[in-house]
Structure 1
Amino acid sequence: MQLHLAPMEGVVNARMRALLTAVGGIDRCVTEFVRVSDQLLPPRVFHRLCPELNNNGLTPSGIPVYVQLLGGDPGPMAENAARAASLGAPGIDTNFGCPAKCVNRHRGGSVLLDEPELLHQIISAMRAAVPKAIPVTAKIRLGFKDSSRLTEIVSAISEAGANGITIHARTKEDGYKPPAHWHQLAQVHKITNIPIVANGEVWSPTDFTECQTQSHCEDVMLGRGLLARPDLALEIKSASEGLHYKRNTWPTTLHLVEALFEDSILNCAPRHVGGPIKQWLGYLRREYQEAQLLFERIKRLNTAADITAALDEHRHYLAIAA
């Protein structure tokens, strides 16, 4: 059983991958998508979105990071897949699931799910361009407007030589609205032998077990659930081994939030320094009441000094409350 970290655009960047994989339990990461149009991209584009290429394609804690490409033209997709592989990517993923209208308008993401033959051409071209030792995978949804072509989509990608498929158990029309239809993934195991990874609405070990049961998938990709509970992967693995796991307390999680903020001070423009911490607290407040309190305290603050002072006050509050 493997747990993958979802490639959430604008959220799960290199610094977030480093923080979450350091907590433990994650077996694979995928980058935010590299947008491919009609040309071969320079190496700096890949290094910007996947700085782990400077570390053999691994996070600081040693977890492999696949480079994800998004595009609708087999030729450029293959060329850029080859380039990513030459730069040291341990795997190449393909984004056929993004529901964003701006992406779909330019023939990228989930709009391609209505063209299984094109999916086959893209994966086939990428597979031919990338050394056999480097996996080529795809991330899809159940379909575009509905799930009626799911088996056709999976067959097209599988027969093109993909090494695995992650399925977000919703259609493009569903967006991110619950529920995730895990049961619909069960049918695809009858038409392919490649690994199928389930994705969507796994917020707890109970959700994970139910997802496995309904989807018949061993492996699961975690997204928002892991952002809300940074130790969720550890708890899931402990539960699967019959071990007792004590959830991280808020002070432990707060250390991660502070580490993200320290990184933001070093690497973000001053006017954006508070963005990452506010964004993450938006997820954490689902699980931690204290995260909601901290979010309310800093949501209108913009300078590093003001946010630092608010974090100090929050730490003082926790000490008194304890």
Structure 2
Amino acid sequence: MFVALAPMEGVVDAIMRDLLTSVGGIDQCTTEFVRVTDREIPDHVFHKYCPELLSGGKTPSGVPVYVQLLGGKPEWLAVNALRAYELGAPGIDLNFGCPAKTVNRHDGGATLLKNPHRLFDVVFAVRQAVPPECPVTAKVRLGFADKTLAIEIAQAVDQAEASRLTIHARTRAEGYQPPAHWEYIGLMREAVQVPVVANGDIWNAKDYDLCVRASGCPDVALGRPLIAFPDLARVLKAHLFNEPYTPLHWSDIQDRLLIPFLDRCSRGRHSGFALNRGKQWLRQLARQYSSAQSVFERAKRVNSLEDFRQILLANSTDQLS
């Protein structure tokens, strides 16, 4: 079973990758997308998005971090993919799934799903540019406005010799609204040779079982569910292999992850950045932990990072008393 931490723009940065991979169960990470236009990306930009390049392309826990590129120009994606590899990227991921209107208007992300031959051109150009030992992976959706091109999308990536294909179980038009159509992942998987990874609405072990049954994919990429449930990867692996595992308690999440996250986000930045990121994560954690919901209700209106930290620390003390 392979579990990837799915990239999430504005959420899964190097700090988040470090903390989540420290929990265990995650086999691979991917950066937030690096936008490619018609020029070479400076090295410092790659290092901004993927500081792990300076330490072997892995998180401190040893989990590889692929650099994700987004754009519509095969030749420039190829040039920049090679440079990312030269800087130490253990793999290159290509974003054909971003549903953001601004990104799509500028010929990036899910807009390429309208023309599967463009997916082939991009993946093939990047595959030819980097050495054979460098994995080239792709992330797609079921289609743009509808699912009529789902099979062609998967086949285009496969024929371009991608190393792995992650499929989000919705179209661009469906965004992130439930339900996830895992059965379409199964149809796409059956039409290709490339290994397929399922993505979309796998929040717990029951969801995982339903997804595997519908898609035939034991390998998954987890985005929002891992943010809300930081040891979900370990829970799923223990479930699959029938091994004992006790999930982390809220006190563990708060003390080992959330408070250190605040501290690290505040280094060298305005305190408002750390405050907003802390609230953002706490709100997601409230989906899984009832204690997080009560803390969020007390903390959501505070305007001071120190006040926010004190609420967390007070809650931690309450749980110990």
Instruction: Identify whether the pair has TM-score above 0.5, normalized to the shorter chain.
Output: yes
Structure 1: give runs of 5+ residues left out of the alignment.
Answer: none
Q: 1:261 aligns to what?
A: 262
Structure 2: give runs of 5+ residues left out of the alignment.
Answer: none
Q: 2:213 aligns to what?
A: 213
Q: 2:227 aligns to what?
A: 227
- Whether the 8 Å CA contact 2:286–2:293 is kept in 1: the answer is yes
Superposed CA offset, 1:56-98 (max 9, x none): 1100000001000000011111111011011010000000000
Q: 1:274 aligned to 2:275? A: yes
How many Å apart are 1:245 and its aligned residue?
2.0
- Whether the 8 Å CA contact 1:96–1:109 is kept in 2: the answer is yes
- Whether the 8 Å CA contact 1:231–1:247 is kept in 2: the answer is yes
Aligned AA (1:176): Y
Structure 1 CA distance for aligned equivalents of residues 228 and 271 of structure 2: 26
Q: 1:301 aligned to 2:305? A: no
- Whether the 8 Å CA contact 1:273–1:302 is kept in 2: the answer is no
What's the TM-score, normalizing by structure 2? 0.97
- Whether the 8 Å CA contact 2:259–2:309 is kept in 1: the answer is no
Structure 2 CA distance for aligned equivalents of residues 295 and 190 of structure 1: 44
Superposed CA offset, 1:270-302 (max 9, x none): 232201111111110011111112112222223
Structure 2 matches for 1:1-322, cutoff 5 A? Answer: 1-255=1-255, 256-320=257-321
Superposed CA offset, 1:112-169 (max 9, x none): 1011111111111111111110000100000001111111111111111211110000
Report the number of matched residues: 320
How many Å apart are 1:190 and its aligned residue?
2.9
Structure 2 CA distance for aligned equivalents of residues 60 and 304 of structure 1: 27
**The residue matched to 1:274 in structure 2 has which SS?**
helix
**The residue matched to 2:266 in structure 1 has which SS?**
helix
How many Å apart are 1:267 and its aligned residue?
4.0
Structure 2 CA distance for aligned equivalents of residues 15 and 267 of structure 1: 13
Aligned AA (2:214): Q
How many Å apart are 1:241 and its aligned residue?
1.1
Deviant stretches of 4+, over 6 Å = none
How many Å apart are 1:175 and its aligned residue?
0.4
Structure 2 CA distance for aligned equivalents of residues 189 and 226 of structure 1: 24
**The residue matched to 2:123 in structure 1 has which SS?**
helix
Structure 1 CA distance for aligned equivalents of residues 287 and 124 of structure 2: 41
What's the TM-score, normalizing by structure 1? 0.97
